[in-house]
Structure 1
Amino acid sequence: MKTFTQFSFIALLLFSINSFGQTDTTQLIKDWQRAKAYTLEYLETMPESGYALKPTPDMCSFAEQMLHLTDGNYGLAAATLGQKNPIERGASEKSTDKSKANTIKMVMAGYDFIIQGIKKMNPSQYGENIKMFGDREMTRLTALNKCFEHQTHHRGQTTVYIRLAGTKPPQEKLF
């Protein structure tokens, strides 16, 4: 019995070591879909009048923060996925239509771009090294994680905007 237990432990350990560091594409897609849904909750929670809200004059408006998030999603994902960016750099933020409806449409399209790109990737590409920002070398998976971090950061910043608009931000969405 002791030998079987030791064998089971060793087998479990080897399985864990073999699995460690591997990326589950399905989970990666689910995480991005969750981020998209969570961001949509933020966008829907903010009243139309709050889209022009700037906490201080030198800060971006709520719409501009969300559109910056979108420009990052497109730019970082295009570089990571090895695809052409379907929009001009900074085009979302430069949009003259920063209405609630148009901002939601543009932000959701940015998430769709990333999700569709990940679906097209072969998991063997995750470990490939690429250059980002000119000279920073990292794996495609690391770059995807940087993109995820960027959108999380800017969505989180907009929590204050929503509170300043007199509204309660959406509940945290970790799962």
Structure 2
Amino acid sequence: MKRIPFLAIVLLAFAFPAHAQDAMKKDAAIKPADPESKVVLDSWNEIGRKLTAMAEDFPEDKYDFKPTPEQRSFAEQLLHAAGSCYYFTNPVMGQKPPAAEDPKRDQYKSKADIVAFVKKSFADGATAIQAKGEKGLTTEVVYFPQQKARVIDIAYGIIEHSGEHYGQLVVYYRLAGLVPPESRPKK
């Protein structure tokens, strides 16, 4: 008989902290979702940061490395990814898209030239996102001749495209016997 009250006390002792924690969780305010413009800008800046880190880190004497002769070099991959940003930035800012798909390697002769271009292209895109603001993300702009698209859709398309090239550049790192900055242990 004495065991039942003891067992009840033990069960209550274990149940109360869980109940108290649940009550505290219910009282805590749930943080609202970030505004869309912040989410887009954060994603844009994050892929820009990763590509810039690679551009700054990869040895200049390996900038013309190609896994196969048919592929773009490391430098050409960076120029392509950075240049594609202007397919977003230009239409969003009321300008014509770039005339050529890829900036030419002979226009960007040094590593410093390419790093500066990568930084500028992502900074220009971030400025365009900020200029449009929350309401401007759903406005439509002429993206290609005879084609309109929403600002947010173009931004996410370029972010995704840049992420694909980031992944390709990771392979270039590995084939060159190097470890990409994002894969290194954090200090």
TM bucket (normalised to shorter chain) is 0.7 to 0.9
- Please say if residues 77 and 147 of structure 1, whose CA atoms lie closer than 8 Å, have aligned partners that are also in contact: no
Which residue of 142, 165, 168 corresponds with 1:154? Answer: 165
Are residue 53 (structure 1) and residue 46 (structure 2) matched?
no
Give deviations 1:62-98, integer Å, cap 9, x for gaps. Answer: 000100111101123222x143269653463354334
Among all aligned residue pairs of Structure 1 and Structure 2, give the percentage whose two residues are the same amino acid.
Answer: 25
| Equivalent residue, structure 2, for 1:3 | none
Deviation string, structure 1 residues 118-173 (Cα, Å, up to 9, x no partner): 1111322222233433344432211111011111111211111111221101226x
CA RMSD of aligned residues (A): 2.7
Structure 1 equivalent of residue 22 of structure 2: none
Taking structure 2 as the reference length, the TM-score comes to 0.70
SS in 1 for 2:69: coil
Per the alignment, residue 124 of structure 1 pairs with 135
Task: Report 1:3-152 matches (<5 A).
Answer: 23-79=35-91, 81-84=92-95, 89-90=100-101, 92-152=103-163
Query: Quick one: distance in 1 between partners of 2:144 and 2:94?
Result: 15
Question: Structure 1: which 5+ residue stretches go unaligned?
Answer: 1-7
SS at match of 1:147: helix
Q: Which has the higher contact order (CA 8 A, sep 6+)?
A: 1
Choose 1 or 2 for highest CA Rg.
Answer: 2
Match of 2:76, SS?
A: helix
Q: Distance in 2 between matches of 1:44 and 1:61?
A: 16
User: Quick one: distance in 2 between partners of 1:111 and 1:85?
Assistant: 18
Aligned-residue offset at 1:102 = 1.1
Deviates more, 1:144-153 or 1:86-95: 86-95
Query: Compared with structure 1, are the counterparts of its residues 85 and 113 closer, same or farther at alpha carbon in structure 2 (3 Å cutoff)?
Result: farther
Aligned residues: 154
Paired residues of 1:159 and 1:169 also in contact (CA < 8 A): yes
* Contact 2:93/2:128, CA 8 A, preserved across alignment: no
The two structures have a TM-score, normalised by structure 1, of 0.75
